Chain A
Amino acid sequence: MEGEPGAFKVRLTKKPKYILEDKCTGCTTCVENCPVTYPDVFNQRISRNKAIHIYFPQAIPLVAYIDESCLYLKEKKCRICAAVCKNGAIDFNQRPRKKEINVGAIILAPGMETFDPQPGSEYHYKEFANVITSLDFERLLSSTGPFQGETLRPSDGKHPEKIAWIQCVGSRRILPGANTYCSAVCCTYTQKQVILTKDHSPEAECTVFHNDIRAYGKDFERYFEKAEGLPGVRFIRSFVSVEKENPENGNITLRYATADEGVKEEEFEMVVLSVGLNAPSDSRTIAAKFGIELESHGFCMSDPLNPVKTSRPGIFISGAFQGPVDIPESVFGASGAGSLAGELLNSRRGGLSKTRAYPPERDVCGEAPRIGVFVCHCGANIGRIVNVPSVVDYALSLPNVVYAREQLFSCATNSAREISDLVKEKGLNRVVVAACSPRTLEPLFRDTLREAGINQYFFEMANIREHCSWVHSKEKEKATRKAKDIVRMSVARAGLLEPLREYDLPVDKSALVVGGGIAGMSCALSIANQGHDVYLLEKDRELGGMARKLHYTLEGLDVQACVSDLIQKVHRHQRVHVYTEAQITDAKGYVGNFTTTAKSARGPVQIRHGATVIAIGADLHRPTEYLYGQDPRVLTQLELEQKIAQSDPGVLQCRGLAMIQCVGCRQKDRNYCSRICCGNAVKNALKFRQMNPQADIYIFFRDMRTYGFKEDYYREAAAKDIKFIRYEPAEKPVIEAATEEGRPVLRISAPDPVLGVNLALDVDLVALSAAVIPSAQTAEIAGLFKVSLSPDGFFKEAHVKLRPVDFGTDGVYLCGAAHYPKFIRETVSQACGAAGRVLALLSNDTVVASGSVCEVQEDRCIACGACISVCSYGAIEFKTTPKGRKATVNPVLCKGDGLCNTKCATNAIQLKHFTDEELLNEIDAVLISG
């Protein structure tokens, strides 16, 4: 790789797949016929696969490839795959291809690897058959795994009923070969595995040996409680060693210690090692090639403020290359990297895109249905089980069918053209393709219909592969009968299909960002840098939000300098329009077309915008416990940070400082972890220690949740004589004002679970790690923009893992602590992620709304409101008509789930493309015996 931002030149070598990707249809006939089996790498080598195979069932592209175990590649023998492939997709002449590409920006997403517990190590992995890693276990649990979701022991294929998990394997250790950091994901994935194990086998006994449960993510605390509360599940806080394997039954003995019972040994039928995450093994090579720096653990060194920026401009990272992260962080980081690349390449946006031209659509309204049926052989996939010619004959006997034929591969380019030509030639106005799942190919065939000049909703797909030939391979005649049934149903529905219009809605090219903290400002800047006007609303007099009260981060970032730099950039940016002291009074509209009215320091304002970002941050719980507000020596962490930053004499002269974690959260009324407090406590403790080397520092904690690289600072703190004392929620520390040798002190009493004694410690200052709570404005903003809230009162994203910055409401996005408490770097990454999603919308001139939406037949509507009550998208409302109040659907907001249809007593509301009539006709058709 060489060059500079905006003009990189990258030389690639593409290894041969020995498959012509454009010809392979993913039918897997070759896989069945391949004679070579070898351990399946994707399934952790537990089961076997073929030399020609698809890597895993959801692979993209869904095509086969041939690996080095192939007989032909090794010995020039076999070539069976080439003989059975009816589409001629096998090409043994492929050689590695060198390619040079010119790109403007580079995103590195090499991911991570799991820690490998080497054989011979303390865990006896691969020595004792029933010691497996969590990734092995993950595959065992999976329905696409080696035993189709059956959990079987490697040693004897029996169902293990007593399973132990060992946490922190390869993580949080200072031994050679292991990692010092916390891998950040293992606590929760283990809980998931426990829950799934209990789902598979309710009798199973599951024991998790851990050292702190780090349930720091959104909803993780509840998830942990769910796992812990299951019958037969134990979470034991103890180091543990793998002692021996029982030669008779293969069981494994573990030795561990508990506070009550001391050291003990216990036998388990299977032991799962919760392995941590490593940097990619080739990270050094990657770094050298791209000229980027790595941090000390071998992950990518990222910008102190923005974790998706590398040390080299124009090169960004996505996912766990920045260090161990969970799925939501990976997803919004990915979107953020996209947005930063967009900032760099904005002037060239759309330069390579082409628009397709379609012929004008033929109006077929007056015509009777003329259905064409195309039955696909899918190579041998359907054809060798289902008698395709007889299905074709049968289709011709069905009402409204005027044409039917078979095709070898309906999805091949020439077949699609054939369909399009025949539609014109035979005057077809409905098309049924009997082939595979509509999931992959429906868009292709709809496009074929558009090419043929008829409405794309006149297409219907009959799945005779996944629903028929693949599952009835041993019953050819019955399978053929079933294929006919399926085709009959599709034909019945097709006859009633109606042409539908998709809506092209203009997109207003500007964005509104609500909240002027780090999240809002970072997001606004990234959007504005891509050429869009941004209206930034801040409720306070000045920008900056919560960060104005922060001074430094655990990693040493000067927060005030960053914030003033951001504020300057925002104020100087021509496209960012700042409104302070803003209060939103009204918000209307939908994706691409919002109108928001607000009062602000600049007077009343009405803003039209295409996208909305909610970045209103969070508030801090004001403690009522631990003498806070009664004794001035009891502070919050934020107040302590202020004192440290000001070198307050109280800090310098302090003889003892105690911190108490989890104040106001991880409890019944606020059942979540505030995520940032453990890191913050360590941060302040270390800073305090630096200024005052003599003071006693105590941190009372429940679980230290210094996830990821923050673990290193936790270790540093322990090494610097900062004492960590665990407490149980039932026995919280008690603080009282006391006098010791004539000096006023705060006395903290608490039991020490390790020493088994009651402590009484005298300190001068107490800092409370108060919970981060949803902003006071949350409910109001949620109401205005019609978005929903999670049980804990933070904003609820569209999908916790897959869409962490989107709302279910289109065109509205989310970032920062409004989503959930998070550190500054995480906030910036999510803010860029939200900007990326905003750009995906604003870079289009129009948004297309599906034609398959609900519609109200007003004559039948009795305004009972049943439909409105079940619409999750607020798409239905009442309007006044000359005939009275009637429900009406906003087609832009409707997502076509159809719940409202089932609630309507008069069938007044109907989901187009899935109407009662269409579906009932299909039901009738299947029940006429063929």
Chain B
Amino acid sequence: MCSGRIDASFVLRAFSKGADGVFIGACHLGECNYMTHGNFQTLSMVSLFKKIMEFVGINPERLKMAFMSGSEAGVYTESVNDFTGKVKTLGALGSSEGLGEDELKSRLEAVERFIPYIKLVKKDKLALRLDEEEQYDRLFTKEEVEALFKEAVTYRIDPEKCRACMICLRKCPVGAIAGGKNLTHTIDQDACIKCGTCFEACPPRFGAIEKISGETLPPPFPENPGNKREVRNGQDASGQL
């Protein structure tokens, strides 16, 4: 297993389960002992994830990737001590960002639902291998991530047009389509990963599946998220008066 095996969902899971920071230690860039060079892949995942964290109002400094070799104990301890010190000054995840427990949870869950979709639409960019570490900082932009969430597609089955033929239902990779023979199909939006397989699969003569852009229900996040504490409806976002 290589650091390139670290999935965005692992990082997300750590935050969801209460970690205040996530540290990824990987080999030095360009020094792969094999020909995998998977740490570049990790780096691009991390750079995207940081932008997502920023977008959902979590301080991106809570995620850190550092490079070291197996013999560099000093580098490791220094990086870990720096990072734990940093996380301590940042304070607990959520409350320090002005997010209440439920709000944090719902935001993280929203991100979790988006991970498959992000992997799909950004697959070419995520597979890129750039020369320099700094280039990865610029690989994904804030606007891009915003667009990703706000203009995400939604697939819906028009009950009028659906002939309950089971084609899309069988092809859905995550089993998100309910229904049966002669029972109109519906997409479980919570389970749907927006891969479009159903859209491609629905016979053109039926054309029962609609692809809607930018009208996700409900919109995942309030406007203008940030690291600052926000006050809404007379309460701050952590839910305290």
Interface of B is mostly: helix
Q: Which of A873, A898, A920 contacts B9 (CB 8 A)?
A: A920
Q: Does A724 contact B (CB under 8 A)?
A: no
Q: Decide: B17 and A899 in contact? CB cutoff 8 A.
A: no
User: Residue B60 at the A interface, CB < 8 A?
Assistant: no
The reply to whether the CB of A923 lies closer than 8 angstroms to some CB of chain B is: yes
- Inter-subunit contact A897/B14 (CB<8 Å): no
Does B23 sit within 8 A of A, measured CB to CB? no
Interface residue A643 (Cβ < 8 Å from any Cβ of B): no
B37 within 8 A of A: yes
Q: Once the chains bind, are B13 and A808 in contact (CB under 8 Å)?
A: no
Question: Is B43 positioned at the interface, with any CB of A under 8 Å from its CB?
Answer: no
A798 to B119: give the CA distance in the assembly, Å. Answer: 30
B33 CB contacts on chain A under 8 angstroms: 799, 802
CB pair A866–B127 under 8 Å, yes or no, is: yes
Cβ–Cβ < 8 Å partners of A860 in chain B: 173-174
**Is residue A344 within 8 Å, beta carbon to beta carbon, of the partner chain?**
no
Q: Mark A799-824, 1 if CB is under 8 A from B, else 0.
A: 10010000010000000000000000
Contact among B1, B41, B124 with A914 in the assembled complex (CB-CB below 8 Å): B1
- B15 nearest CB across to chain A (Å): 10
Whole-angstrom distance between the alpha carbons of A927 and B173 in the complex?
A: 30
In the complex, which residues of chain B have a beta carbon less than 8 angstroms from the beta carbon of A898?
Answer: 1-2, 4-5, 38
CB pair B8 A143 closer than 8 Å: no
Chain B residues with CB under 8 A of A927:
14, 17-19
B195 touches A906 (CB 8 A): yes
> CA A884 – CA B120 in complex, angstroms?
19
> Do B71 and A902 touch across chains, with their CB atoms under 8 A apart?
no
Q: Is A247 an interface residue (CB 8 A)?
A: no
| Closest-CB distance, A845 to chain B (whole angstroms) | 26
Would you call A905 and B117 a contact (CB within 8 A)?
yes
* Binding stretch for chain A, among B72-80, B152-160, B214-222: B72-80
A142 to B36 alpha-carbon distance, docked (Å): 26
Cβ contacts under 8 Å, A902 to chain B:
4-8, 41, 45, 119
B213, CB-defined interface residue at 8 Å: no
> Does A230 count as interface, using CB distance less than 8 angstroms?
no
- The answer for the CA separation of A143 and B127 in the assembled complex, in Å, is 33
Per-residue CB contact flags for chain A residues 823-857 toward chain B (1 = under 8 Å, else 0) read 00000000000000000000000000000100000
Report the separation of the CA atoms of residues A924 and B197 in the bound assembly, to the nearest whole angstrom. 32
Using CB atoms, name the residue of chain B closest to A902.
B7
Residues of B within 8 A of A916 (CB): 7, 9
Total residues of chain B contacting the partner, CB 8 A: 42
B126 within 8 A of A: yes
Provide the residues of chain A in CB contact with B73, threshold 8 Å.
143, 148
B241 to chain A, nearest CB (A): 29
B232 at the interface (CB under 8 A from A): no
**Contact of A897 with B74 in the complex, beta carbons under 8 Å:** no
Question: Residue B38 contacts which of A471, A897, A928 (CB distance < 8 angstroms)?
Answer: A897
How far is it, in angstroms, between the C-alpha of A898 and the C-alpha of B18 when the chains are bound?
Answer: 26
Q: How far is the CB of A929 from chain B (nearest CB, A)?
A: 9
What residue of chain A has the Cβ atom nearest to residue B70's Cβ?
Answer: A439
Which A residues from 854 to 908 make CB contacts under 8 A with B?
A: 859-862, 864-866, 869-870, 872-873, 883-884, 895-899, 901-908
The dominant DSSP class at the A interface is loop
Separation in Å of the B70 CB from the closest CB of chain A? 8
Contact A143 B173 (CB under 8 A): no
Instruction: Give the distance to chain A from B18, nearest Cβ to Cβ, in Å.
Output: 5
Q: Is the CB of A899 within 8 A of B195?
A: no
When the two chains form their complex, are residues A862 and B1 in contact, meaning their CB atoms are under 8 A apart? Answer: no
**Given A149-B72, A870-B41, A872-B35: A903 and B5 interface contact (C-beta under 8 Å):** no
Contact flag A143-B5 (CB < 8 Å), given A808-B34, A860-B174: no
Which chain B residue has the least Cβ–Cβ distance from A57?
A: B71
Among B10, B116, B123, B193, max chain A CB count under 10 A is at B123
Distance of A916 Cα from B12 Cα, bound (Å):
13
B4 touches A798 (CB 8 A): no
Give the chain A neighbours of B38 by CB distance below 8 A.
Answer: 897-899
Inside 8 A of B13's CB, which chain A residues have their CB?
920, 923-924
Residue of B37, B77, B119 contacting most chain A CB atoms (<10 Å)? B119
Q: Are A861 and B127 in contact (CB under 8 A)?
A: no
Known contacts A799-B33, A866-B119, A897-B1; A905 and B9 CB within 8 A of each other: no
Contact (A798, B74) CB under 8 Å given A860-B174, A902-B4? no
Contacting pair A899 B119 (CB below 8 A): no
Instruction: Decide if A899 touches B10 in the complex (CB within 8 Å).
Output: no
Residues of chain B touching chain A, judged by Cβ–Cβ distance below 8 Å, are 1-2, 4-10, 13-14, 17-19, 33-38, 41, 45, 71-75, 77, 116-117, 119-120, 123-124, 126-127, 171, 173-174, 193, 195, 197
Q: Can you show 10 pairs from A to B with CB atoms below 8 A apart?
A: A143-B72, A852-B1, A860-B174, A872-B35, A897-B4, A898-B2, A899-B4, A903-B127, A905-B116, A911-B1
Q: 7 more A-B contacts (CB under 8 A) besides A149-B75, A869-B127, A897-B1?
A: A143-B75, A471-B77, A866-B127, A902-B4, A914-B5, A920-B9, A924-B17
Point out residues on A near B: beta carbons under 8 Å. 57, 142-144, 148-149, 471, 788, 796, 798-799, 802, 808, 852, 859-862, 864-866, 869-870, 872-873, 883-884, 895-899, 901-908, 911, 914, 916, 919-920, 923-924, 927-928
